[in-house]
Amino acid sequence: MKRSLHILMMLTGMALLSGCSDNDNLRHLQTFVADGPKSNTHITPLPVTPAYAPKAYENPLNRDPFTSFSELLLRKEAAAASTGPRPASHGPVQPLEKYALSSLSITGIVRDNQGKLWAVVLAPDKKIYRATIGSYIGTHNGRIVSIDDGMTKRSVTVEQYLPNAFGGFQKKPTVLQMQNGN
């Protein structure tokens, strides 16, 4: 079996090599190569290209092209947080600043002899406190900005400084409605 395979391979190789032994084609190839440089064919030269002139990057938005937009937004938010609203320091902590706004309830609104409005606030410790416009209330530096003693709506509006994700604060108004039936 091995011997017949070797014989078959040798015969195939001889058949392939016999195709290369054509002397007539070989002479034609030698003539073509010898006459090649003498031919009168004209080759057009390549067009001249202008020299490369680098151009400076013009950035209309004045931003780094290698910084993602989300990173730019984070930087912008962080910068806004450092310059944004901040709660003012107001001295010692008032009693209603110990409780979250959600745990306080407005039980009444009264007007004193001078016409000043006061909110009557029930704290979780079951004590009743009074507060007026400018009083601090809640755990997020909340300050009462308005008291409404209207016939249909009796409420207290508190402006809080809630911390944001960037280390700054954002102002958030919160309305505490007076409980019905009290």
Q: To 10 degrees, the CA torsion angle through 96, 98, 101, 104?
A: -60
Dump the DSSP string for 62-96: ---TTS-HHHHHHHHHHHHHHHS--PPP-SSPPGG
Residue 102 forms part of a structural domain: yes
pLDDT, tens digit, 9 for 90 and up, residues 128-140: 999 999 999 988 8
Residue among 77, 83, 87 at smallest CA distance from 158? 87
Please state the domain count of the chain.
1
- Say if residue 158's pLDDT is above 90: yes
| CATH code of the domain in which 144 resides | 2.30.30.830
Q: What is the mean pLDDT of residues 137-145?
A: 90
SS3 content of the chain, % helix, strand, coil (to 5): 30, 25, 45
- Say if residue 33's pLDDT is above 80: no
- Say if residue 90's pLDDT is above 80: no
Residue 8 forms part of a structural domain: no
Cβ neighbours of 176 (radius 10 Å): 22
Domain limits for position 144? 95-177
How much of the chain, in percent, has pLDDT values that exceed 90? 20
Residue 44 forms part of a structural domain: no
Q: Which pLDDT does position 20 carry in this prediction?
A: 63
Name the one residue in this structure whose structure tokens are 């009743």: 128
Residue 7 forms part of a structural domain: no
Q: In what order do the strands lie in the sheet with 117-122?
A: 105-111, 117-122, 128-131
Q: Which pLDDT does position 92 carry in this prediction?
A: 84
> Is the CB of residue 149 less than 8 Å from the CB of residue 117?
yes
The answer for residues whose C-beta is within 8 angstroms of residue 171's C-beta and 6 or more apart is: 85, 159, 160, 161, 162
Phi-psi region of 141 (alpha: psi -120 to 50; beta: other; left: phi over 0): left
Residue 112 forms part of a structural domain: yes
* Residues listed for the chain: 182
Q: What is the mean pLDDT of residues 42-63?
A: 83
Residue 115 forms part of a structural domain: yes
Q: 71 or 104: which carries more pLDDT confidence?
A: 104
Q: Which pLDDT does position 35 carry in this prediction?
A: 73
Residue 21 forms part of a structural domain: no
Residue 106 forms part of a structural domain: yes
The pLDDT-based confidence of 182 (bands split at 50, 70, 90) is very low
